[in-house]
Amino acid sequence: MSVGSGTVAGMGEITRAFCGSRALEAGSVSRWRLRSDYRPIYPDTYLPRGSDTDARSKALAAGCWAKGAGVLVGYSAAALHNTLWLADHLPAEIAGIAATHAPPGLIIRRDVLAQDEIQLVEGVCVATPARTGLDLGRRLPFQRAVAVLDALCRATDITPDDIATLADRHPGLRGIVSLRSVLRVVDGGAASPQETRTRLLLLQSGLPRPQTRIEVSTPDQATYYLDMGWRQHKVAVEYDGVQRWVDRQQRHHDIDRLEALDRLGWKVIRVSSAHLDAPRELVARVRGALRRACTNGGDMPGFP
């Protein structure tokens, strides 16, 4: 299997990466238009001027550069699986090609993928979500790996168990031991890297593992979702992003939402980026709320 070649047919507007020499040969663009309307991202590979160079566009451009060879892996595969929160500055990743020298902004991996670890996405050969999770989870630093795999699981139908099952087929791969540590705490219920960071902070502080995306229904038929918490004890932890403060409509909704949750007996502990940078007070608040819940008749095995 191979990635798409990125050739351009016809004279319509070009919106994604393409192979410059093939476009010239096909008469899709003139040399003047190629120089004036497009910019090179990799050798003989162009994007429209003014277009974003995000992880997805880089991934498709890497496929064009490879001219029909290889499989997109790692961050590039994650991007084509619609994974959110991937940084734009990260290089594209491709495997299964003979080239030994990659241009700036692209990494050639020497991974060998089985046929059932590859799928087509928009006509491009891409590592499956499980294989993508395996490679990112074994290569990235722990916290970053958890955040990316949280987002990958949320964007696709895979679970940490799916990735672990695939890892059993590759016991000799570098980083497999690290991957298994990552998979023990991955949770596709996280809606942002900040939520992942908050959850990891709670776990690393010795608190019980919280459930993510807790659904709460009110007597008046409203439904709310809490970032994470402990349903039995009605204790929740929520990360407050900037949008919750600058969007007036969102702010109004949050006030009503918190009031409704309070009437149902929920204790909602709100978290800002400053709390994550200096977490002692946050951890104390959560621990205190859980202790009070246990004192009031709840039970949480193993809670200190």
> Same structural domain for residues 178 and 216?
no
The verdict on residue 29 lying in a domain is no
> Same structural domain for residues 130 and 227?
no
> Same structural domain for residues 171 and 209?
no
* Predicted TM-score of the model (pTM): 0.90
| Average pLDDT of the residues in 171-193 | 97
Is residue 102 pLDDT above 70, yes or no? Answer: yes
Query: For 15-24, 40-49, 210-219, 238-247, which range has the lowest pLDDT when averaged over its residues?
Result: 238-247
Give the span between the Cα atoms of 46 and 192, in whole angstroms: 32
| Average pLDDT of the residues in 9-30 | 82
The verdict on residue 98 lying in a domain is yes
The verdict on residue 21 lying in a domain is no
Alpha helices in the chain (DSSP H): 20-26, 31-37, 55-65, 74-80, 129-139, 142-155, 160-167, 176-183, 193-204, 243-246, 248-263, 273-277, 280-295
> Same structural domain for residues 151 and 174?
yes
Domain's final residue, options 183, 211, 229: 183
Is residue 302 pLDDT above 90, yes or no? Answer: no
pLDDT at site 104: 95
Percent of the chain surpassing pLDDT 90: 80
**15 falls in which pLDDT band (50, 70, 90)?**
confident
Give the span between the Cα atoms of 120 and 112, in whole angstroms: 17
Evaluate whether 92 touches 107 at the Cβ level (below 8 Å). yes
Note the maximum CA span of the chain.
76
Specify the CATH number for the domain of residue 288: 3.40.960.10
The verdict on residue 172 lying in a domain is yes
Tokens matching residue 122? 């928009």
212-223 pLDDT, tens per residue?
999 999 998 899
At residue 73, what are phi and psi to the nearest 5 degrees? -135, 180
> Same structural domain for residues 86 and 157?
yes
> Same structural domain for residues 98 and 164?
yes
As for how many domains the chain has, the answer is 2
Phi-psi region of 193 (alpha: psi -120 to 50; beta: other; left: phi over 0): alpha
> Same structural domain for residues 62 and 179?
yes
> Same structural domain for residues 200 and 261?
yes
> Same structural domain for residues 118 and 235?
no
Range of the domain at 254: 193-295
The verdict on residue 15 lying in a domain is no
> Same structural domain for residues 158 and 261?
no
The verdict on residue 75 lying in a domain is yes
Per-position DSSP letters for 261-298, written without gaps between them: HHHTT-EEEEE-HHHHHSTHHHHHHHHHHHHHHHHTT-
pLDDT at site 123: 86
Roughly what angle, to the nearest 10 degrees, separates helices 160-167 and 176-183? 160
The verdict on residue 210 lying in a domain is yes
241-300 pLDDT, tens per residue?
766 666 777 777 888 899 999 999 999 999 999 999 999 999 999 999 999 998 875 555
The verdict on residue 47 lying in a domain is no
Domain's final residue, options 152, 183, 214: 183
Domain's final residue, options 183, 215, 236: 183
112-170 pLDDT, tens per residue?
999 999 999 988 999 999 999 999 999 999 999 999 999 999 999 899 999 999 999 99
> Same structural domain for residues 280 and 198?
yes
DSSP state of 117: G
| Average pLDDT of the residues in 7-18 | 65
Roughly what angle, to the nearest 10 degrees, separates helices 176-183 and 142-155? 60
> Same structural domain for residues 119 and 236?
no
